[in-house]
Amino acid sequence: MTTVQGVNRLQGSLPKIGIRPIIDGRRGGIRESLEEVTMEMARAVARLLSEKLRHSNGLPVECVIADTCIGGVAEAAQTAEKFAREGVGVSLSVTPSWCYPTETIDTDPHMPKAIWGFNGTERPGAVYLAAALAAHNQKGLPAFSIYGRDVQDMGDTTIPEDVQAKLLQFAKAGLAVATMRGKSYLSMGNVSMGIAGCIADESFFQRYLGMRNEYVDMSEFVRRMELGIYDKDEYARALAWTKEHCKEGADVNPPHLQRTREQKDGDWETVVKMALIARDLMIGNPKLGEIGYGEEALGHNAIAAGFQGQRAWTDFFPNGDFMEAILTSSYDWNGIREPFMLSTENDTLNAVTMLLGHLLTDAAQIFADVRTFWSPDAVKRVTGHTLEGRAAQGVIHLINSGPAALDGAGQQTVDGAPAMKPFWDITEEEVRKSLEATQWCPAVDFFRGGGFSTDFTTRGGMPVTMARINVIQGLGPVLQLAEGYTVELPDDVHDKLDQRSNPTWPTTWFVPNLTGTGAFKDVYSVMNNWGSNHSAVSYGHIGADLITLASMLRIPVCMHNVAEDRLFRPSAWAAFGASDATGADFRACDNFGPLYK
């Protein structure tokens, strides 16, 4: 198995980061003395971001530096024109000195923006930073403030670690905003089993994410299967790979409901075709044009999608679990590649949450039901086992039949510990271990059309963040998140608890980090305050990054357990209540409104 090289599989160029060197425009000695040091700040930032960041598809992040330092409105306009021509989607201004704020700031209302004001005393960039932020706030153009903790000497070209962290956090979130803009969410089917998250809220997608909505009926899968609208050569290769690497698990159905070997073999053929078709619907496939289907070859430019499945599909056809799980994983028969963001039950809001996590981490995501809180007493009563360690105060059972990426088994490692990594860091051995750790169990009885569900148990010890966007009438979208860890239970304990839910589905045992107050008073409170039946799980404690990204999109965060010193939002947020960060977030998002009006 080989790693598929980074490729932009969507229409539109990748967004770039624009670096704006800001300077005191007064000539006759002042500007001239600052030209080189200011431009070197810009070059240093560009080097940092280009070296440390990649797009989620593996391609390098490009930085565009203004042709000249910006000392006034004419040079600001020249830079804006260059940035538009170059496809810049994120704006970062840097300066070591005082400059003229309203004449030099970036006024593009849709572009995430930040200012790094050099902490020096000779020509204080901090003074410009404060004045420029005030100008941004007065004009309704929120910007992020980047200011080093320690004073540096003029001409010091190093970027302090605290400044580096903010530059990278801002840039990664800003790239996520710019990457989503103009892309599509594809609903394959409609609302599944009355789940409100399946309702594609076009206003939310358009006004908050800058995305469009696309729709196809699930009958399109039938049409493409019956008319052969897929790559036959790839299908043969995919089916052979699947038979070799995807081992069947136990059939837990009663004998009279078990499908015959012939039926199961037919199900495998169908679910592999479904995976090919779903991918082609999302991003297109030039091979379809070669067999006479030019329209189908184009796809829907979908950066995320969902499949309704239940029950209109699954009462008659094999379920979508294989399609969802293999596409959301970081590899398939073509090799190791960027995962797709595909939601089961067409839960549009969970798909968006998965997308945010993916764009921030570059890694696959776990889709799961927030199924059960198991208290220590309940576990003791049912199994006789006393929970201990991180699990001592109880665990949350995350489990769903659908798109829990195989990466979620935790067979990848970072420094010897279980992890989920960007595809370019995954080894063939890690892929082999993930496949061996996964069984494909014949679907249970309520999937009347058959199919196969992924079954694995996530390894313990992974730092993870569980998140979810919900839409509230009168309020709009809100984000909730919980940082914590995966844990492992003894096999016999896991089996007894798993049997009470569905033993054919993948399990992640999750324990949130507790604060002792509010929604994080205890594990039960986290479960009790969760706003939906679904969640998306990202590797790493990325709560602060999600909060930064949410503030760019003007989505308030209603529930989190991120320490206050990790919060990074636009400077204007402090004006809405510096001592009440959560309330200020709601007030600021309401005041400024959605990013795309």
- The pLDDT tens digits for 497-532 are 999 988 899 999 999 999 999 999 999 999 999 999
Q: Which structure tokens are listed for 321?
A: 């679990």
- pLDDT at position 6 is 86
Please check whether residue 2 lies inside any domain of the structure. Answer: no
Is 369 one of the catalytic residues? yes
Q: What is the DSSP string of 466-535?
A: EEEEEEETTTEEEEEEEEEEEE---HHHHHHHHHTS-TTS-EEEEEEPP-SSGGGSSHHHHHHH--SSEE
Residues 206, 109, single domain; the answer is no
Give the residue numbers spanning the domain of 70: 7-180
Compute the distance between CA of residue 286 and CA of residue 291 in angstroms, rounded to an integer: 9
Residues 176, 268, single domain; the answer is no
Residues 192, 168, single domain; the answer is no
Compute the distance between CA of residue 408 and CA of residue 411 in angstroms, rounded to an integer: 8
For residues 535-574, one letter each, b for 16 or more C-beta atoms within 10 angstroms of the residue's C-beta and e for the rest, the string is bbbbbbbbbbbbbbbbbbbbbbbbbbbbeeebbbbbbbbb
Please check whether residue 1 lies inside any domain of the structure. Answer: no
The one catalytic residue in 231, 280, 345, 455 is 345
The one catalytic residue in 369, 407, 455, 488 is 369
Please give the DSSP secondary-structure letter assigned to residue 385. P
Cβ-proximal residues to 79 (8 Å cutoff; 6+ apart), any chain: 18, 20, 66, 67, 70
Compute the distance between CA of residue 144 and CA of residue 548 in angstroms, rounded to an integer: 9
Label each residue of 76-103 as H, E or C: HHHHHHHHHHHCEEEEEEEECCCCCHHH
Mean pLDDT, residues 266-277: 98
Residues 406, 474, single domain; the answer is yes
Please check whether residue 597 lies inside any domain of the structure. Answer: no
pTM (global) more than 0.95: yes
- Give which of 220, 234, 329 is closest to 281, Cα–Cα: 220
Residues 140, 197, single domain; the answer is no
**Alpha-carbon separation of residue 132 from 79, 528, 567 (angstroms):** 17, 43, 21
Please check whether residue 240 lies inside any domain of the structure. Answer: yes
Please check whether residue 367 lies inside any domain of the structure. Answer: yes
- The pLDDT tens digits for 578-597 are 999 999 999 999 999 999 98
Mean pLDDT, residues 400-423: 93
pLDDT at 392 over 80: yes
Residues 198, 67, single domain; the answer is no
Residues 168, 198, single domain; the answer is no
Provide the sign of the torsion angle of the four alpha carbons 257, 262, 263, 267, taken in this order: positive
Residues 502, 573, single domain; the answer is yes
**Alpha-carbon separation of residue 228 from 222, 270, 293, 314, 322 (angstroms):** 10, 12, 10, 21, 20
Annotated binding site for Mn(2+): 345, 369, 534
Regarding predicted confidence, which is higher, 5 or 203? 203
Count of domains observed in the chain = 2
- Give which of 187, 182, 188 is closest to 209, Cα–Cα: 182
Residues 192, 297, single domain; the answer is yes
Residues 370, 407, single domain; the answer is yes
- The pLDDT tens digits for 112-134 are 999 999 887 666 778 999 999 99
Kindly report the backbone phi and psi dihedral angles of residue 460, in degrees, each rounded to the nearest multiple of 5, phi listed first.
-80, 165
Which residue bears the tokens 């990848």?
412
- Of 153, 180, 207, the one marking the end of a domain is 180
Is 428 one of the catalytic residues? no
Residues 51, 195, single domain; the answer is no
pLDDT at 333 over 80: yes
- pLDDT at position 121 is 61
Strands (E), 97-188: 113-117, 144-146, 184-188
Residues 211, 310, single domain; the answer is yes
Other beta carbons within 10 Å of 30: 15
- Of 146, 180, 214, the one marking the end of a domain is 180
pLDDT at 555 over 70: yes
CATH number, domain with residue 329: 3.20.14.10
- pLDDT at position 99 is 94
- Of 152, 180, 208, the one marking the end of a domain is 180
Please check whether residue 14 lies inside any domain of the structure. Answer: yes
- The pLDDT tens digits for 120-179 are 766 677 899 999 999 999 999 999 999 988 888 877 788 999 999 999 999 999 999 999
Annotated binding site: 345, 369, 534
Regarding predicted confidence, which is higher, 367 or 119? 367
Kindly report the backbone phi and psi dihedral angles of residue 547, in degrees, each rounded to the nearest multiple of 5, phi listed first.
-65, -40
Q: Which structure tokens are listed for 196?
A: 């409100």
